[in-house]
Structure 1
Amino acid sequence: MRNFPWRAADVVDLPVIGTPVDTLTDLSRTPGGPGARLAAVRLEAAAFKREFATTGTPDTITTCDLVTLPYPTRFGLFRASRAIAPFLSITNRMLVIRWHETDGRSRVLLFEPSDVELGRYTPYFDRLAQRTPDVVARRMLTEHGTVLDHLAALDIAPGDIDYLLFDHLHTQDLRRWVGTTAHQEDLGGQPEPAFPNAKVIVQRDELAGMAELHPLQKPWYQPGSYRDVPAEAFLPIEGSVILGPGVAVVKTPGHVFGNQTLVVNTSTGIWVSSENVIAAECLTPEHSKLPGLAKWSREWGQEVVLNANSIESTADQYNSVILEKTLADPCQEDPRFLQFFPSSELTGAWTNPGTKPTFSHRTITHAKERATT
């Protein structure tokens, strides 16, 4: 049974976006085995980093906290953690990125604008909630603010949003953001799109994968919520593209087949953001004080610790994280760690002993310096 009323092929004629990145080869299509692809990605990432740094910077980047929620330790710190806590906490955040095109047009992109209320019905989290007493759930889940409330505080009108971007569509329900083609029983009608001018930038491979889910994928997607989402709400891309000055989407397959990563150039250098890992120290585990990470990395000869709730293609995900690690500049606050901003970042909580991060970013803040005369 198909999950969508339309196939990935149905969106082939929709408008394209951005400038393709020729420097980066699609990892999932690079010849050779995963080891050969790993060697290639190190070279390609270094070349793209030099190229990308010359594209300029966006006008502003603002970070907005959405929700802190529980997540299995065995998923977030794949095989490496020795914490006694079965769950850790992650904080999902939205980035608001603004820039101007060369012709002067302004653009606004929302990265990870999760509809937290509807995201709860993701099969995995829905089952977890049903097994968790309310008094415990209230201690483990904290909502910080909605997407629309954050935009109002920034004085950004919903109609000014051009693009919605997610590293992948796990847990996401887009119906309230982009509208539907039919009545939605659970929403009490046919919602008008909150973002009437916005398009969802997504890898064509993920649309293809979602059209008929594999059992490994089913706990993490809400296929029913896409049945009435119009195909024209999507801007499907293939591979990596530069969207604007200092703003790029890089394809990073593995966590899901069509995973993608946001890359931005800022006043402190290049930042990378995805959910491929849940903490900056997962890129440099030798500096981690989390129980088990440094030892596990050393003993197993693995230089990164994956976020592995979904193991669609683990070797490719590892290679994608190496790509991200190569692109990200060192953190100015502590150069042992990189400017990797997890879209869902490990967050310390007294309820989860042994999972307090050694280092946290919590925010990306960037504003382009204005020229003076």
Structure 2
Amino acid sequence: MTSLASPPPPGWSLSDLAGLPTAGESISSLEISDDGGPGGRLRAARAAGLRFRAEFARSGMPATIDTCDLVTLPYPSRFGLFRATKALAPFLSITNRMLVIRWTDSGGRPRVLLFEPSDVELGRNTPYFAELLRRTPKVVANRVTTVHGTVLEHLARLGIKPSEVDYLVFDHLHTQDLRRWVGTSTFQADLNQRARAIFPNAKVIVQQDELIAMADLHPLQRPWYQPEAYRDVPLDVFLPIEGSVMLGPGVAIIKTPGHVFGNQSLVLNTSTGIWVSSENVIATECLTPEHSRLPGVAAWSRAWRQEVILNANTIETIADQYNSIILEKTIADRAQADSRFLQFFPSSELTPMWTNPGTSPTFRHCAITHAS
């Protein structure tokens, strides 16, 4: 198996991050106290979601939201439908998508945010996926992986120049290599160049907790990160945040720890109501599993009295992830097409594939589309 020994980490520290600017306006209604026991923290998350939901609905709306498919690829069923699946298929398929959000700020300046703009090519170097590719015959890998389009191809289709992008946001930095997006300070042997930033004016909004974690990874985290890819990335490309922030009308980033220590979710107010997006679950039915037709999911939820089904590949802090999903579930509106499900848009959404029997979702969103 590919070595999972810790590669050279980025050299930043907490004191380095303290000197960086941050982004947005802090959301006080989502400050959740650690007081009380585990059950109290869950109740606090639900109460915070209700408070925020009421105020966020009055925050306005962005101008446009576009959805761009990047890649469909295999992912272990035991991770994506944690403990609940009875499907025979060891793998399911997920589609990674990018959201492009545009709005005008209070000063009249147009803003562009890319949510999940993954560099799919460099993402294949993530230790877990690199090992999976090594063990999979190329002809099989080509059959189960579909690249739909690159970040730059989608932006060109939307008429957006790379220089017009203000923010890059990920729910977490698993698999992500940002060198081509934000540039490097030194020559990169594998890229055969000192990378010049494709997005020269963009800043990466990320939870401070995740940057700190990446500088000193735990063994549970190592299969999913590429810390060496951040060693020569200029620290000033980051806008570290602590908690939840409003970025613009109907655009917020909320702290949702658990899947990773520094996980965060995107919240959007649209013409159909409030949407939430992250990779905390891989299908919207995982928030209302009682309505799922996926083998084993509804029965497992009933038997274990758990109201959500986690996407859990690292299980860093699994109780926190459960609470974060409850927060997301409380904030999101009901889906207009089927009110049994919520307007939760998985950044990696479960996708039916003939090779994976028993993993076809009951309901899919496939896209968020909005124009104010």
TM-score by length of 2: 0.97
- Which runs of structure 2 are paired with 1:1-373 in the superposition (5 Å)? 3-26=9-32, 30-368=34-372
Alignment-mate amino acid for residue 207 of structure 2:
Q
Equivalent residue of 1:185, what SS? coil
Deviations 1:125-184 (A, max 9, x none): 000000001111011100000000000011100000000000000000000000000000
Percent identical among aligned pairs is: 69
Which runs of 4 or more aligned residues in structure 1 lie more than 6 Å from their structure 2 counterparts after TM superposition?
none
CA offset at residue 34 of structure 1?
Answer: 2.1
State how far apart, in whole Å, the 1-side matches of 2:37 and 2:170 are: 28
Q: Which moved more, 1:268-277 or 1:30-39?
A: 30-39
Equivalent residue of 1:323, what SS? helix
CA offset at residue 56 of structure 1?
Answer: 0.2
State how far apart, in whole Å, the 1-side matches of 2:119 and 2:81 are: 25
Give the unaligned 5+ runs of structure 1. Answer: 369-373
Partners of 1:252 and 1:260 within 8 A in 2: yes
Equivalent residue of 1:81, what SS? coil
Deviations 1:76-109 (A, max 9, x none): 0000000000000000000000000122111000
Give the unaligned 5+ runs of structure 2. Answer: 1-5
State how far apart, in whole Å, the 2-side matches of 1:233 and 1:15 are: 10
Deviations 1:259-286 (A, max 9, x none): 0000000000000000000000000000
Partner of 1:371: none
State how far apart, in whole Å, the 1-side matches of 2:193 and 2:291 are: 52
Partner of 2:3: none
Partners of 1:250 and 1:262 within 8 A in 2: yes
State how far apart, in whole Å, the 1-side matches of 2:137 and 2:38 are: 43
Deviations 1:278-336 (A, max 9, x none): 00000000000000000000000000000001100000000000000000000000000
Equivalent residue of 2:354, what SS? coil
Aligned Cα root-mean-square deviation (Å) = 0.8
Partners of 1:8 and 1:211 within 8 A in 2: no
Aligned residues: 366
State how far apart, in whole Å, the 1-side matches of 2:157 and 2:47 are: 42
Equivalent residue of 1:192, what SS? coil
State how far apart, in whole Å, the 2-side matches of 1:235 and 1:32 are: 32
Equivalent residue of 2:30, what SS? coil
Alignment-mate amino acid for residue 160 of structure 2:
I
State how far apart, in whole Å, the 1-side matches of 2:59 and 2:35 are: 29
State how far apart, in whole Å, the 2-side matches of 1:271 and 1:30 are: 26
CA offset at residue 33 of structure 1?
Answer: 2.7
Partners of 1:89 and 1:348 within 8 A in 2: yes
State how far apart, in whole Å, the 1-side matches of 2:15 and 2:65 are: 34
Partners of 1:34 and 1:316 within 8 A in 2: no
